[in-house]
Structure 1
Amino acid sequence: MSKTAPAAPKLHLTSKNLGIGISEKNREAIVHGLSRLLADTYTLYLTTHNFHWNVTGPMFNTLHLMFMSQYNELWNAVDPIAERIRALGYSAPGSYAAFGQLTKLPDAPTEPPAAEDMIRALVRGNEAVAATARELLPLVEKAGDQPTTDLLSARMDIHEKSAWMLRSMLGE
């Protein structure tokens, strides 16, 4: 799952002196983490949507619908993450190039895997996104950034439940 990525893209500060009670240094560190979370979420969205389009086999209908539910949830998650980055005074990354540098998830496969391999890939992807959120949590809590804490907690809950549901389909 882990890959060695090039250096993260440069952050673009849009509001230097915010009076929100979080230092510029902490805001920058939080934004680095949120940018990684955004990239991981978008990459998982794209992979999940790919699998929705390309799943075949006896579980087609069940997986097609499950993947659609999951990619819709992921699509709705990227906006709040990006908006939190903006609220902290930075531009949100929004290109495939930036996401490719920031994410720890592999790109969607060019050839559709078997349905069970799709499920396994999505388990790993959801676990990785939950881990990205969890890695950022101590810094966010220390900085007193409650809105980001709430966002991270919600993302961890959703990704851990999604991974559990997918694992259950595999009988694991």
Structure 2
Amino acid sequence: METTQATIGIKKDNRKAVVAMLGKLLADEYLLYTKLRNAHWNVEGIDFHTKHVFFEEEYNKIENIVDEVAERIRMLGFYSPGTLNEFLELSHLKDESPKKNDSSSFMEALLEDHNTIIKFIRKSISENAEEHNDEGTADFITGIMQLHEQMSWMLRASLKTF
């Protein structure tokens, strides 16, 4: 839903398309945030303390992304989705927990989610810049993708076995 006439040099239909993509990204980020909270609360095992702290650091990063994406939607002149039902309808991620509460199970599931988000953002960058004339959002989501790439790398490195 549009809030006010945004006269920022992007046609309404283009802003609407960008906001639809951002709504899906927001849903993915919120679901990932929830999964990181779950991992933080429920991880068990010999590495409990270090993973408990690690998951807290990660959900704090995602919490900031959630806020920034919602605010980007508002900057483009629309209201942000904000209910759990909306997030579940829009998200590309599966709303499920790993079968075990060990750090490896949580990290494998989180890695899959990060990779899903990275692929979605990568596809959306050129669409925003080229098709919708919104280089600002293309740049914005490029930065988010880079954060997810870093988080994905950390998980891959932690899961590596010799």
TM-score by length of 2: 0.92
Cα deviation 1:126-164 (Å, max 9, x = unaligned): 111222222221121113323212220111101011011
Answering whether residue 135 of structure 2 is matched by residue 146 of structure 1, we say yes
Whether the 8 Å contact between 1:46 and 1:108 is mirrored in structure 2 is no
Which segments of structure 1 move beyond 6 Å, counting only runs of 4 or more? none
Answering whether residue 45 of structure 2 is matched by residue 45 of structure 1, we say no
Of residues 44, 47, 58 in structure 1, which corresponds to 2:46?
A: 58
Match of residue 114 from structure 2: 126
Distance 1:135 1:148 in 2: 13
Shift in Å, 1:65: 1.1
Structure 2, gaps ≥5 residues long: none
- Does 64-73 or 112-121 show the bigger shift? 112-121
Whether the 8 Å contact between 2:125 and 2:141 is mirrored in structure 1 is yes
Match of residue 162 from structure 1: 151
Q: Which amino acid aligns with 1:57?
A: G
Match of residue 87 from structure 1: 75
Q: Which amino acid aligns with 2:40?
A: H
**Number of residues of Structure 1 aligned to a counterpart in Structure 2:** 160
Shift in Å, 1:112: 5.2
Higher relative contact order (CA 8 A, sep 6+): 1
Secondary structure of 1:43 counterpart: helix
Of residues 90, 111, 121 in structure 2, which corresponds to 1:102?
A: 90
Higher normalized helix content (fraction of residues) = 2
Distance 1:121 1:110 in 2: 7
Q: Which amino acid aligns with 1:168?
A: A
Match of residue 125 from structure 2: 137
Structure 1, gaps ≥5 residues long: 1-11
Whether the 8 Å contact between 1:41 and 1:74 is mirrored in structure 2 is yes
Whether the 8 Å contact between 2:124 and 2:138 is mirrored in structure 1 is no
